[in-house]
Structure 1
Amino acid sequence: MTIHVARPDLLAHQNAVRLPFAALVQELREMLGARLVAYLGGVKATRQVSDWAEGRRLPSQLVQDRLRASYQIAQTLAAAEEPAVIQAWFQGMNPKLDDVSPARALREASSDDVASQVMAAARAFLAS
C-alpha cells in the first residue's frame, strides 16, 4: 500500500533517523533486494546483509550512515513508486548525477554532499 504525503522526504528522514539499524536494513532489503543493499554496503555477500538485518553484526559507521541515507531516499521514492521502480531507479544511469547510478554514487561517496545530490535527483524524479 502506497501512502502519499505532501513531503514524503520529511517522513522518510524521521524514519531513517529513528529506526533501529537492524529494522532499517530489513526494510531496505525488502525495497531494494539483498544484492543491492550489499552493493550499497560495500560487501560482496548478502549473508552480511542478513547479519545486519538480524542484529548479529554492525558494519562501520560510514556504512551505517550510507545505508540510512539510502533508506531515506528509497522511502521518499516509495511514497509514489513500487519496489521494482525504486530498484531500477537506484541501479540505472541518472542524468541528474552525470549518468552515474544513484547506488554507485552513494557507494563511492566520500561526503554527505553526494547523498544530498542523490536525494535531489529522487525529488526531481518524483516531480517529473
Structure 2
Amino acid sequence: MSIATVINSGYMETARLDIHELVRRLNTHLGPTLVAALSGSKDAKQPIRWAKQGGPTPGPAFENRLRLAHRLWGYLADAESDHVARAWFIGGNPWLGEDTPITAIREDRHKEVTAAVTAFLQDVYDA
C-alpha cells in the first residue's frame, strides 16, 4: 500500500470518529498526561473528561490537534507497532529540529510534523 493510500485512509477514519472516542483511544495509547500536553491543555485530567460520552467537547484548536495526533498515531502503529508509535511521539525528532512531535503538535506545526511522520515511514532522512 502506498503512503498516499495510508494517509487518505487514516484521514477518513479520523474525520468520521466521534471526538470522545478519539480522545479515549489516544488516552489508551499515550496516556492522558501526554494527550493534554499535545493538545495544549494545561489540565492533565482534561483528556479523561473529553473521553467520556456526554462529557465536555474540546474547543476547535484542541480538537484539531487531537485529530492530527490520532491520524499520526494510526499511521505509525499500523506500519510499525504501538511501542514504536509511542516512542516516536515522545522522542526528540531530527525532522523537527530535535523537538518532540508532542511539542510540534501543541505548537500547531502540523505541516512539519506530518512531513516528519511521512519521512519516518518512508525511511528518509533529509533534515
TM-score range, shorter chain: 0.7 to 0.9
Tell me how many residue pairs correspond in the alignment.
120
Of 13, 19, 22, 1:21 maps to 19
| Higher mean displacement: 34-43 or 86-95 | 34-43
Does the 8 A contact of 1:8 with 1:76 survive in 2? yes
Paired residue type of 2:114: M
Q: CA deviation at 1:16?
A: 1.3
Q: Identity rate of aligned residues, in percent?
A: 35
1:30-109 → structure 2 map (5 Å cutoff): 30-55=28-53, 56-109=55-108
Does the 8 A contact of 1:25 with 1:49 survive in 2? yes
Does the 8 A contact of 1:32 with 1:86 survive in 2? no
Q: CA deviation at 1:32?
A: 1.7
Taking structure 2 as the reference length, the TM-score comes to 0.85
Paired residue type of 2:18: P
Flag as ranges the 4+ runs of structure 1 deviating above 6 A: none
Q: CA deviation at 1:44?
A: 4.2
Paired residue type of 1:118: V
Paired residue type of 1:20: D
Q: CA deviation at 1:28?
A: 1.5
3-state DSSP of counterpart to 1:40:
helix
The answer to whether 1:116 aligns with 2:111 is yes
Residues 80-128 of structure 1 deviation map (CA, whole Å, 9 limit, x = unaligned): 122221111111111111111111011122xxxx212211111111122
Q: Which has the higher contact order (CA 8 A, sep 6+)?
A: 1
Paired residue type of 1:125: F
Report the Cα distance in structure 2 between the residues aligned to 1:44 and 1:65, rounded to whole angstroms: 16
